[in-house]
Amino acid sequence: MIIVLRSGSGDAEVEAVCRRITEMGYAPHVIRGEFKTVVAAVGEERGRPDLRLLEAMETVESVMPVQQPFKLASREVRSEPSAVQVNGIAVGGPAVVVMAGPCSVESAPQMREVAEAVKEAGARILRGGAYKPRTSPYAFQGLKEQGLQYLAEARKRTGLPVVTEVLETESAELVARYADVLQVGARNVQNFSLLRRVGEMGKPVLLKRGMATSLQEFLLSAEYILATGNPSVILCERGIRTFETTTRFTLDLNAVPVLKKLSHLPVVVDPSHGTGHWDLVAPMAKAAVACGADGLIIEVHPRPEEALSDGPQSLKPARFAQLMRELGPVALAVGRSL
Amino acid sequence: MIIVLRSGSGDAEVEAVCRRITEMGYAPHVIRGEFKTVVAAVGEERGRPDLRLLEAMETVESVMPVQQPFKLASREVRSEPSAVQVNGIAVGGPAVVVMAGPCSVESAPQMREVAEAVKEAGARILRGGAYKPRTSPYAFQGLKEQGLQYLAEARKRTGLPVVTEVLETESAELVARYADVLQVGARNVQNFSLLRRVGEMGKPVLLKRGMATSLQEFLLSAEYILATGNPSVILCERGIRTFETTTRFTLDLNAVPVLKKLSHLPVVVDPSHGTGHWDLVAPMAKAAVACGADGLIIEVHPRPEEALSDGPQSLKPARFAQLMRELGPVALAVGRSL
Amino acid sequence: MIIVLRSGSGDAEVEAVCRRITEMGYAPHVIRGEFKTVVAAVGEERGRPDLRLLEAMETVESVMPVQQPFKLASREVRSEPSAVQVNGIAVGGPAVVVMAGPCSVESAPQMREVAEAVKEAGARILRGGAYKPRTSPYAFQGLKEQGLQYLAEARKRTGLPVVTEVLETESAELVARYADVLQVGARNVQNFSLLRRVGEMGKPVLLKRGMATSLQEFLLSAEYILATGNPSVILCERGIRTFETTTRFTLDLNAVPVLKKLSHLPVVVDPSHGTGHWDLVAPMAKAAVACGADGLIIEVHPRPEEALSDGPQSLKPARFAQLMRELGPVALAVGRSL
Amino acid sequence: MIIVLRSGSGDAEVEAVCRRITEMGYAPHVIRGEFKTVVAAVGEERGRPDLRLLEAMETVESVMPVQQPFKLASREVRSEPSAVQVNGIAVGGPAVVVMAGPCSVESAPQMREVAEAVKEAGARILRGGAYKPRTSPYAFQGLKEQGLQYLAEARKRTGLPVVTEVLETESAELVARYADVLQVGARNVQNFSLLRRVGEMGKPVLLKRGMATSLQEFLLSAEYILATGNPSVILCERGIRTFETTTRFTLDLNAVPVLKKLSHLPVVVDPSHGTGHWDLVAPMAKAAVACGADGLIIEVHPRPEEALSDGPQSLKPARFAQLMRELGPVALAVGRSL
C-alpha cells in the first residue's frame, strides 16, 4: 500500500503514520517528494489488518493499493489458464463452449423442444432457470423443484449437462442434486453467504458479474467460492449498467481480456442479457468469441413472444442454429474450435 | 403500455399485435402517426402477463410502460406519507430521526462507549453491524450472535432501539430476536428471498438502495417486503456507483424528493457510505435534511483508525456531537425538528 | 409523442392538454386506462415545437417520444447502408478499413517511420493529431500547422490518405487544406458550431462518440453535419465512461449493431482509446470486426514509452503488423475482407 | 508518481525503469515488497514529461499519481477561499448568491417580466441564454446578438448583472461586450480553445461541469482559464449522467464539499439542470445551500409550458419567490445569508 500524506505534514505526523503501520504488522518506507510525502507499507496484506484504514487519520490524504486483493483467483498463484470440467466438457480449453436454453423452465415439452434444438445446433450445455430472481414480486418466480425435474429429464434425453441458478442458500442442496453447473446470478454476486454455500456443493459454479461490480470485486467474489476449496469457477460477463438506454445493459467485452490477464479462471459471455434484444445477440456473440471468451450462454425459446421471462432477448431455435453456423469460422479465426 | 411498431408495419402486422394484446387480457387502441403506428394496451398490469414481452415480436420496435409497476409502495394506494414506528419513535413524522453507531460491533466496551456518546449527542436509534457483508473473504466478517448481544446490552443501558443488518435468511430469526429494526444492505437489495424472509419477521425494515438500483427497482424491492403484509419499510439512499472516484459513491440526493413523490414510505440518508470520507459526512448530512430526508444513519467510532471496518468514513464522537448541534437549525429551517 | 397525465386528472385537465397539443400543431388522441390517461400527439415533430415542453404542465407526468429525433442519419430516409468515399477507399463497403498512426504528430521522421510501417502492414488510412485536446493546460498541445505538413509529407510518400482532428472552428479551413478526413473528437461531439463548420468543409468527417453521449445524441450530432449538406459522416465508437477503472473507458461494442440498425452511416471502432492499454487493443479490434464494424482506428508509435501523448495505449509497429495478420481471418469469418 | 512493476520483474527491469525516470528528470526511489516492486518518482510534475507514459513499458503494471495535476486552482497555491467579484457582488463571500432567469432569452417583454420578478424575489444576478447549445439541429438555437441586447436592457432596468453562455470562440468578444459573467456550458467543459478565449476576455467565468467530467478534470478545465491570467472562475455543479432515469441528471452534491476541499474557487449549483423537473428544484436548491454552495443558478420562466427550451425544469415566478423565502432560513442555519 502507498499512503499519501496531506501537504504540509510534519515529521511528527509522518512518525505517527509509520508507527501505526508498524503496529499493523507492516514495514514503512518514507519517500519525501517536493509537495507530498508518501509512505510505502510493505508486507503480505491478505488476512492482515486493512491498511486503507489509515485514511481515517487526519494526516492521511489517501491510501492506494499496490497488490491485488484476491489471491486464489490470481495469476500469481497459477500462471496458466485453468479449465473447468463439466461432465467431460472443458470450459477454458481449446473449444468455445456454448450453453443455451430458455430463460425460464416453463414445462416439460418446452424443455424437451429447446434441449433437442440447441443440441442439434451444437450447444454443449443446457441452460434453464427453475428459480427466477424477478425485479417485481408480481412476476413469475419459476417452477422450482418441478423445473429442476424437467431439466433433468431434458438432460437424460439429450445427454447435455445442465446449468441452472441457485437463488438462495436453502435450496442450494436441492439444486445441486439436479444440476451439473450451479449459477450465481448477477444480483447475488455479493451475496456472500450464497457464494460460500454454493462453493461448498463441490460442483462447478458459473458466477455472473453484477451490473455495478468492478472487475476487482468480481474476482473477490470468485475468491469466496475458491476459498471453500472448490476450484471450479467460471466467470461470466453479462453487461453492466451505464447511462445508455438503447440496450438493456452495456456488454463490457473489455472485461474478457482484462479478466484473463488478472486471473487464470475461464470467462464466458452472456450476449442475451448483455444486450436485451434478440437481434443484437448474434453480433455480440461473435465479438465475444473474437476477443477470447471461453464460452457463451445464450437464451433460446421456441416462442419468445410467449416466454414467461426475457422473451425479447431470446433467439428462436432456427436463428440460434444459424448463429452456431456463423460462430464456427469466428472461433477458427482466433485459433479455437466450437 | 404503449407498443411502438416498426416503421412500415402493415395492417396485418398491426392486427397481429392487437390480437396478441387481447389474448394477454388487455384492450388494444391503435393510433396511426405520420411515421409510426403505436398501440396502447389498456388494463391493470400487476399480476398479469407482462406486455414488455411483445418486444419479442419482430413487428414491435419498443414497449413503453405508462403505469408504475409497484403498487403497495405507491402514492396511488396511500396518498399521505406513512410513518414507521420504532419503539415509539416515528420515522417519517415531524422529527428527523438520527441513527448512529459503529459500522461493526467490535466489543462490549466499544458498543457501550459509542452508544452513550451518540445518545448524549441526540441520536434516537443505535446502529451497529454484527453480520458484515465484506467484499473480500479475508476481511473481518462480524461478531455474529455475540455482536447482537453487545447491541442488546447497549440498548438496555441507553434505551436506544437498535438497527442491525440481516445478511442471510438463516439468521433472520436470530437477528429479529435482538433487533428493533432489521436492515437489508445495498448488496442484498435484490436478494428477493431475503426481502421476503425479513418482511415476515414483522419488524420495521430499513432497506438500502443498491449501488446500481434504479428508483423504480428500489420501490419494487420495497414492494417485496410490503407484499408479506409488513407495512413498516424505511427506504435508505446510500450512494450510487458512478464514474466519479474522489468519493466512494455518489450520494444521489435527488432520490429523496423523487421517492417521496412516488411513494408514501419514509426516506433516510446514509452520508457515511454515500461519501466514504468522514470530512464529507457533515455537509451531506445537512443537505439530506434540507431536501426532505426523514432521517439519517451515520457511522460513529471512538477510534476510527482502529475500526475493523469503514474507519475512513466514521466520525469521532466529538465531531458527531458537533454535527448534531449544527443539524438542529437546518431541520428547523425546513420545518422539522431533530 | 405519448403524453402521460398524472393519476386523477379530470376532464378539464385532459381538455387543456389536448388544446395545447392542437395549438402546437399536432393532433391529440386520448386513451383512458384503468389508472392513467395518456394522450398521443400525432404529426411530424422535426422542425416543430418540442412536445416534451408539455412536461412543464402540472397535469403532465411525463412525455415519451415515439419517433427518433434524427432524420438524415436514419434508416427511414435511406434504408441501405451508405459508404463514405475517402480518395477511392470506401468506408462502409465490403472491406474493413484500418486507419493507423500515432496519437500525436511529433516530427517528420516519426511520421515517416510510422506511415511506412502501417502501410506495409496493410493500413489504408493514416492517422495523426496535429491539434491535441489535452485535459491539462500543462500537457503537449500539438505541432499545429507544422504537424499538418508532416502528415502531408507522409501521405505523399506512402499514398495513404490522412485523417486528423479539427479542434476549433478557426483552424477548420487550414486543417481541411491538408487532411482527407476531418476528425471531430469525443470532447467536441456536442460542440455544435464546430460540427457545422467541419461539415461545411465538404470533406468526409470522422465523428467520435463522447464519453457520456447516448447513441441518440450521437446521431443528432451526426445530423448537425449532415444538415450542412455534407453526406460523408463516419461514426466512431471509442469507449464510454463507466464505474469500471481497470480500463481507461468501457468500449461499448453493443453500439456497433445498434447504430447500424438505427442509421445508414458507416461505423468504425477505436480500440486504443476504448481500452487505454496496448495489450487490450488486439482482442478488442477483433471483437469490433466480428460484430460488424466497418473499420478500425488504431494508435501506433515506434517508441510508445517516449510518445508525447497516449503512449500506454499505442502499439509498436511489429505488434500492429501481427494484429493485421490476425484480423484478416476474423474479417473473412464475418464475410468481409481487410 | 508511484510506478508499480509487474510481478516477477528482475533487477535489470527495475534498473531500466529507474533509468527512464531519471532521463525524464525525476529522482527514482525503489521499494521492494513481498509481491511487488514499486518505484516512487520524485519531482515537480507540472510542465514536465508525463510519468504515466511509463505504462507503455511492458515491465510496468500501472502508474499512480500522488500530486494533483492542477496548480492555480488548488489549495496549495491559495489556502484561503477566493471570492469572485461581479459588479460588487461577491460570489464566494458570506452571502449565498442566487442567479435566476429563463433558459433562453425569447423576447424583450419576456426578459423584462422575468428580470423584474427575480429581482423582486431576491435574485442578485440575471441569467438567460442568447446562444443555445441544442442536442438537435432542428431545435431553437437562440436569438444571438438580439438576445444579448434584451439582456442588456433588462440589466439596465433592474441593475442586475447578467450571466450568459459563450458558445464559440468567434462570438466570445461580442458576448463579453454585453455580459458581466461569461458562462461555459457543460458540453464545452473540455473545449479547450473556448476555455482559453473566454479566459482572455478578463471577465468572471461561470464554468459548468460536464455530464461525465471527473472533479479532477473539472479543475483542470478551470486551470485552463486561470492560466490565461484570469483569476475569476466560478465552478458550477449541474448534474452528472448516471443510470438513473427518473431525473434528467444526477445532481452530485458531494462535489460541493470535495471541490471546496481541493480548490479555493467558489462553487455554485444548478438544481434546474441537475434534476430536470421543476418540482425537484426547491428541495435540491436547499440541499445545495446546506452543504456549502456559494450560490445557485435557477431557471425561471413566466409560462414554462411555452418556453422555447427547458420548460419542464423552469419555475414560475411565484414558485421562485416562495423558494427564495424558504432558502433564507437554510442559509442562516449554515452561517450564511441570502
pLDDT of residue A66: 86
Which three cell numbers mark B329? 437549525
**Residue in D308, D300, D287 with CA at minimum distance from that of residue D134:** D308
Q: Which of B120-124, D140-144, D155-159 has the lowest mean pLDDT?
A: D140-144
Question: Which run of H or of E encompasses C40?
Answer: strand C37-42
Compute CA distances D229 → A220, C140, D125, D233, whole Å: 49, 19, 24, 11
How many C-beta atoms lie closer than 10 Å to residue B132's C-beta?
A: 22
Q: Which chains border C (3 or more CB–CB pairs < 8 Å)?
A: A, B, D
Which residue stretches of chain C have pLDDT < 70? none
Q: Which of residues 186-215 of A touch B (CB under 8 A)?
A: 187-188, 190-194, 210-212
> Are C154 and C148 spatial neighbours (Cβ–Cβ below 8 Å)?
no
Closest Cβ–Cβ partner in A38, A44, A241 for D40: A38
Mean pLDDT over D115-121 rounds to 98
Q: Identify the sign of the CA torsion A168, A172, A175, A179.
A: positive
What percent of chain D clears pLDDT 70, i.e. is strictly above it?
Answer: 100
Task: Check pLDDT > 90 for residue B124.
Answer: yes
Whether residue A338 lies within 8 A of chain C, CB to CB, comes out as no
> Are B181 and B204 spatial neighbours (Cβ–Cβ below 8 Å)?
yes
pLDDT of residue A33: 83
Q: For the packed helices B145-158 and B108-121, what is the interaxial angle rounded to 10 degrees? A: 40
Beta-ladder partners of D84 = D91
pLDDT digits over B272-281, tens only? 999 999 999 9
Return the DSSP state at C240. B
Q: Which of residues 224-243 of C touch A (CB under 8 A)?
A: 240, 242-243
* Chain A residues touching residue C250 (CB < 8 angstroms): 240, 242, 250, 252, 254
Buried b (16+ CB within 10 A) or exposed e, A160-192: bbbbbbbbbbebbeebbebbbbbbbbbbbbbbb
Mean pLDDT over D311-331 rounds to 96
Query: Can you give the length of chain C in residues?
Result: 338
Buried b (16+ CB within 10 A) or exposed e, C237-259: bbbbbbbbebbbbbbbbbbbbbb
From first CA to last CA, the distance across chain C in angstroms is 43
Task: Using CB atoms within 10 Å of the CB of residue B79, give its burial: 0 to 12 exposed, 13 to 18 middle, 19+ buried.
Answer: exposed
Mean pLDDT over B249-270 rounds to 98
What percent of chain B clears pLDDT 90, i.e. is strictly above it?
Answer: 86
pLDDT of residue D35: 78
> Are C99 and C122 spatial neighbours (Cβ–Cβ below 8 Å)?
no
pLDDT of residue D118: 98
With an 8 Å Cβ cutoff, are D168 and C53 in contact?
A: no
Distance to chain B for A176, nearest Cα, Å: 18
Distance to chain D for A43, nearest Cα, Å: 6
> Are A227 and B137 spatial neighbours (Cβ–Cβ below 8 Å)?
yes
Report d(CA C66, CA B35) in Å as an integer.
Answer: 9
pLDDT of residue B298: 98
Per DSSP, the three-state class of C210 is: coil
Confidence of residue B311 (pLDDT cuts 50, 70, 90): confident
> Are A42 and A74 spatial neighbours (Cβ–Cβ below 8 Å)?
no
pLDDT digits over C265-323, tens only? 999 999 999 999 999 999 999 999 999 999 999 999 999 988 888 889 999 999 999 99
Task: Using CB atoms within 10 Å of the CB of residue A318, give its burial: 0 to 12 exposed, 13 to 18 middle, 19+ buried.
Answer: exposed
Whether residue B43 lies within 8 A of chain C, CB to CB, comes out as yes
Report d(CA C185, CA A193) in Å as an integer.
Answer: 47
Arithmetic mean of pLDDT over chain B:
95
The amino acid at residue C280 is L
> Are C220 and C210 spatial neighbours (Cβ–Cβ below 8 Å)?
no
Distance to chain B for D271, nearest Cα, Å: 9
Task: Check pLDDT > 80 for residue A319.
Answer: yes
Whether residue C64 lies within 8 A of chain B, CB to CB, comes out as yes
Per DSSP, the three-state class of C338 is: coil
Q: Which of A156-165, C44-53, D15-24, D82-91 has the lowest mean pLDDT?
A: C44-53
Phi then psi for residue A181, to 5 deg, are -130, 130
* Chain D residues touching residue C55 (CB < 8 angstroms): 277, 311-312
With an 8 Å Cβ cutoff, are D250 and B251 in contact?
A: no
pLDDT digits over B58-92, tens only? 899 999 888 888 999 999 889 999 999 999 999 99
**Exposure of C64 in the CB half-sphere (CA atoms within 13 A):** 21
* Whole-angstrom Cα Rg for chain A: 23
* The Cα angle at residue C36 between residues C35 and C38, in degrees rounded to 5: 155
**Residue in C155, C160, C146, C143 with CA at minimum distance from that of residue C103:** C143
Beta-ladder partners of B63 = B3
> Are C122 and C338 spatial neighbours (Cβ–Cβ below 8 Å)?
yes
Report d(CA C264, CA C72) in Å as an integer.
Answer: 9
Compute CA distances B283 → B272, B276, B287, D26, whole Å: 11, 13, 6, 39
Report d(CA A218, CA A235) in Å as an integer.
Answer: 8
Cell 413498516, residue located: B232
Q: For the packed helices B317-333 and D317-333, what is the interaxial angle rounded to 10 degrees? A: 150
Which three cell numbers mark D110? 419576456
Arithmetic mean of pLDDT over chain A:
95
ipTM: 0.95
The amino acid at residue D82 is S
pLDDT of residue D7: 84
For residue D107, what are the contacts with CB-CB under 8 A and spacing of at least 6? D150
Indicate left, alpha or beta for A252 from its phi (over 0: left) and psi (-120 to 50: alpha). beta
Cell 479490434, residue located: C285
The amino acid at residue B94 is P
Report d(CA B221, CA B190) in Å as an integer.
Answer: 6
* Chain C residues touching residue A253 (CB < 8 angstroms): 251, 253, 284, 287
pLDDT digits over D267-318, tens only? 999 999 999 999 999 999 999 999 999 999 999 999 998 888 888 999 999 9
Report d(CA B307, CA A56) in Å as an integer.
Answer: 9
Q: From D273, which residue of chain B is nearest by alpha-carbon distance?
A: B254
Which three cell numbers mark D260? 471546496
Whether residue D38 lies within 8 A of chain A, CB to CB, comes out as yes
Chain centre to alpha carbon of residue C216: 11
Which three cell numbers mark A232? 471450479
* The Cα angle at residue C294 between residues C290 and C299, in degrees rounded to 5: 90
Q: Which of C267-271, D52-56, D82-86 has the lowest mean pLDDT?
A: D52-56
Distance to chain D for B118, nearest Cα, Å: 22
- CA trace torsion C102, C103, C105, C107 (10° rounding): -60
Which three cell numbers mark B268? 433516510
**Residue in D282, D284, D283, D273 with CA at minimum distance from that of residue D312:** D273
Phi then psi for residue A5, to 5 deg, are -90, 155
Q: From B28, which residue of chain C is nearest by alpha-carbon distance?
A: C31
* Chain A residues touching residue B136 (CB < 8 angstroms): 46, 69-70, 220, 223
> DSSP states of B209-231 as a string?
PPTT--HHHHHHHHHHHHTTT--
> DSSP states of A58-118 as a string?
TTEEEEE--S-S--TTBTTT--S---EEETTEEETSSBPEEEEE-SB---HHHHHHHHHHH
pLDDT of residue B268: 98
pLDDT digits over A38-75, tens only? 999 998 887 778 888 899 998 999 998 888 889 999 99
Report d(CA D152, CA C216) in Å as an integer.
Answer: 36
pLDDT of residue B173: 97
pTM of the model: 0.96
How many C-beta atoms lie closer than 10 Å to residue B129's C-beta?
A: 26
Per DSSP, the three-state class of D141 is: coil
Chain centre to alpha carbon of residue C228: 17
> Are D6 and D42 spatial neighbours (Cβ–Cβ below 8 Å)?
no
With an 8 Å Cβ cutoff, are A223 and B193 in contact?
A: no
